[in-house]
Amino acid sequence: MNETVIIDLKDLPGEIWKEISEYKGGYMVSNFGRVKSFIRTRPIILKKTITSGRHFIKIALGRGRYKNEEVGRLVAKVFIRMPEENEILKPIDGNFLNNAASNLEWTSRQYSASIAKGREGFSQKGTRNGMARLNEDKAREIRNLKASGKTYSSIAQKYDVSISCIQYVVQNKCWK
């Protein structure tokens, strides 16, 4: 399967291209998150793939070797600055698929984690997690059923959860 797609190389309005210095003139990145390759006889814009909710491109290293690079990181390295130690890339609007330079910023892991805790999608505990199948009342029932002699398997079947989940509830490792 061909990893690149030839796209019309006309620049978008306001698009600025800069060379990616780590790849010695073989690639350029735009402030809108597009990547051009100059490895072949004519330039092409590389096709992005989505992995774990982020855009990646395949960079040819030579001799049949490739490296997957996150597009947002390339844009930030070229248009903002190189990251310092323990810095991560954070999209200002929260959308990791928006790789525009104006939407990206480097932030510390600690700061990113602190603001994520207040966000809705950040692994909320208990019934605040939309994926929770149990609640405090069901956890109490599970403990009572186990104390009355029911097996982990039968309780897990009743509540449509795994046996290990039931074990954690009974051992007070979750739903305390």
Q: What is the pLDDT of residues 25-62, one digit of tens each?
A: 789 999 999 999 988 888 889 999 999 899 999 998 88
**pLDDT tens digits for range 56-68:** 999 988 888 999 9
Q: Same structural domain for residues 80 and 104? A: yes
Residues 80 and 133 in one domain: no
The rounded mean pLDDT for the chain is 86
Phi, psi dihedrals of residue 89, rounded to the nearest 5°: -85, 135
Strands 49-51 and 54-62: antiparallel
Indicate the number of domains in the chain. Answer: 2
Q: Are 72 and 50 in contact (CB under 8 A)?
A: no
Question: Has residue 74 been placed in a domain?
Answer: yes
96, 72 contact by CB (below 8 A): yes
Whether the pTM exceeds 0.75: the reply is no
| CB-count burial class (<10 Å; 0-12, 13-18, 19+) for 75 | buried
What is the model's pLDDT at position 91? 92
**Under 8 Å between Cβ of 67 and 61:** yes
Which pLDDT belongs to residue 62?
82
On the question of pLDDT at 20 being above 80, the answer is: yes
- The listed range with the strongest mean pLDDT (72-76, 87-91, 172-176) is 72-76
Parent domain of 57: 17-116
Is 1 part of a structural domain of the chain?
no
User: Is residue 4, in this structure, part of any structural domain at all?
Assistant: no
11 occurs within a structural domain: no
Q: Quick one: 39 and 67 in the same domain?
A: yes
Position 70 scores a pLDDT of: 95
CATH number where 55 lies: 3.90.75.20
Are 138 and 64 contained in the same domain?
no
50 and 104: one domain? yes
Residues 82 and 22 in one domain: yes
Rounded CA-CA distance 161/113 in Å is 29
Residue at which a domain ends, from 85, 116, 147: 116
- Please check whether residues 64 and 100 belong to one and the same domain: yes
